[in-house]
Amino acid sequence: MTKVIVGMSGGVDSAVAAYLLKKEGYQVEGLFMRNWDSTINNDIEGNPTLGNHICPQEQDYNDALEACKILEIPLHRVDFIKEYWDYVFTYFLEELKKGRTPNPDLLCNKYIKFDLFKKEANRLGADFIATGHYAKTMDGNLYRGVDRNKDQSYFLAMIKREQLENVLFPIGNFEKKIVRTIANEIGLNVAQKKDSTGICFIGERNYQAFIKNYLQPNPGPILNVETLERIGTHTGLMNYTIGQRRNVGISGNEKRHYVCGKDVEKNILYVAFGDSHYLYSDACLVENVNFISSKRPISCTAKFRYRGDDYPVSLEYMDNGTIKVCYPEGVKAVTPGQACVFYLEEECLGCGIIKEIYKENKKLFYL
């Protein structure tokens, strides 16, 4: 019998994925990954964030264990705490120091879920691994999931083509509401469990309080990008991202405002008011390029953030391996450090990490 090891997260998606595979006749076993030590961080008062409550990660494990009991499949457990720190979290901190907005989920998929996890599954005798991602594969290529609102191909765009070998995405052809319906019908304990949001290792923590454990806050001026007038004080550039409009730190000004840039050397946060042209760019340079597909188009569409719109773009392949991505109609809040993910209709081609932003062939001074 063909053996599949399913990455059990403690959520409804992976549990239903395991159920569907078992229903198809596979020998199914679960494997829970522990990637972060939830007890080492403090909240804003300096006390353990978790208080007297069970930590979210242990709750996830207990939920996964109960789901596996219901499905009558075994559950294994493995720790990748050191590896996650070395390959994902260290990068996350270094990017924040540069004033960029990293997306650790892409690296987690590349180095942990589709590398170390896969090796551990193979050690357990797996013929295939499976996850609860909303995505699809066909002929070695990666495609969007049927549910466009939940599609997670964006987060998989940094993995190598060979990492997709012997990988199954059982819920890629389902909408989320159908997944929950299945979970309810078979009596899964996680049927109504809320989806996890935000950065995986932060969980429900206060973000700024969490980051203080690793990066010393360095307050500085907030400037109106048009007048260069000082209009406030920021709490540290790592606490802000391009396009942010809540909790920016400008008091007494009700006009809608957005973070539009950072100057790391001068420790300045720039803010634009209204739908300002300062929020828009028409090109960016991406580095650390990864293609899953063998296709190298000169035009396609791109997503500049998860759940963002698809924009038509043209690609200029540079000699140093970077790609200049052009979008003449302009895109709002393209953010250094985020992934620019390329698509040809439903196929996810791969991605690059946004390095620099341009407008009218000039690098924007405030980014």
Radius of gyration (C-alpha) of the chain in whole angstroms: 22
- Among 68, 108, 260, 340, the one annotated catalytic: 108
Residue with tokens 């109504």: 192
The whole-angstrom separation of Cα 89 and Cα 102 is: 10
> For residue 284, which of 244, 235, 238, 323 has the smallest C-alpha distance?
323
Backbone angles phi, psi at 191, to 5 degrees: -55, -35
Partnered with residue 314 across adjacent β-strands are: 299, 326
The whole-angstrom separation of Cα 291 and Cα 351 is: 6
The whole-angstrom separation of Cα 330 and Cα 305 is: 15
Six-digit token string for 279? 């929020």
| 351: annotated active-site residue | no
User: At CA 171, angle to CA 170 and CA 173, rounded to 5?
Assistant: 105
| 284: annotated active-site residue | no
Which residues are designated catalytic?
Answer: 108, 200
